[in-house]
Amino acid sequence: MKTTHILLLCFFLTNFLQGQERFLTKQGYTSFFSSSPVEDIKADNNQVLSIIDTSTGAIAISILMKSFQFEKSLMQEHFNENYVESDTYPKAKFKGKIPNINGLSNSEETVTITGDLTIHGVTKNIKTQAKIIKTQDNISLKGSFPVNVADYNIEIPAVVINNIAKTIEVTFELDHKPYKK
């Protein structure tokens, strides 16, 4: 936990010296959707932190697991306590790269983002397509990708095995603004 902070801080400090190259959002949106024959489960999170360094195309995303809001409080409880164990693993993280970020036009383009996604303490390399619009004062990223629950050592008890999909669809919408301090 501490090292990631120091890394994050270094990330900021080095960028301070280089000037206006970081784009950031503190209120990005992520949701996930599980569809099963028994029920559909959806949760929203509007507190996503995402930082893009436009000099390298690096992107770093942090998500608080407890920020996911479910329709039913029981689902939220089970999600936090039994599945993602958010007291032990409070955050999900993504560290990746947007290729050729400076060669983008001002209109919508599709990019393939690769990077490491950490959920429930397990890190996996993922690859996903996203729609990107980059202008002078905004970088918007939108897309979705499937997450295989078992890949992240998340155990679903047999009783509810039919209520929760094995593959969950994660959607993201991140509107980054230039970071000024």
Partner 1 sequence: MSKKIKNIILAIILGITGIIIIVNIVYNKPHISVSEASPDITLVSQKLLNDFENNEFESNSKYLDKIIEVNGTISEINVSENKGIITLSDEGSMGGVICHLSPEEHTKIASLKKGQNIKIKGICTGYLMDVILVKCIIIN
List contacts with partner 1 (CB under 8 A).
Answer: 1-2, 5, 8, 26-27, 46-47, 49, 62, 64-67, 69, 72-74, 76, 87, 90-91, 181
Contact between residue 157 and residue 82 where contact means Cβ atoms under 8 Å apart: yes
Q: What is the distance of C-alpha 178 from the center of its chain?
A: 19
Closer Cβ to partner 1, 81 or 108, answer by number: 81
DSSP tag of 161? T
Provide the minimum distance between the beta carbon of 156 and partner 1 in the complex, in angstroms, as a whole number.
17
Closer Cβ to partner 1, 42 or 109, answer by number: 42
Closer Cβ to partner 1, 34 or 62, answer by number: 62
Sequence letter at residue 177: K
Provide the minimum distance between the beta carbon of 107 and partner 1 in the complex, in angstroms, as a whole number.
23
- CA 145 to each of CA 17, 125, 135, 181: distance values in angstroms, whole numbers, following the listed order: 35, 13, 24, 33
Q: Which token pair is 75?
A: 């689902």
Provide the minimum distance between the beta carbon of 164 and partner 1 in the complex, in angstroms, as a whole number.
15
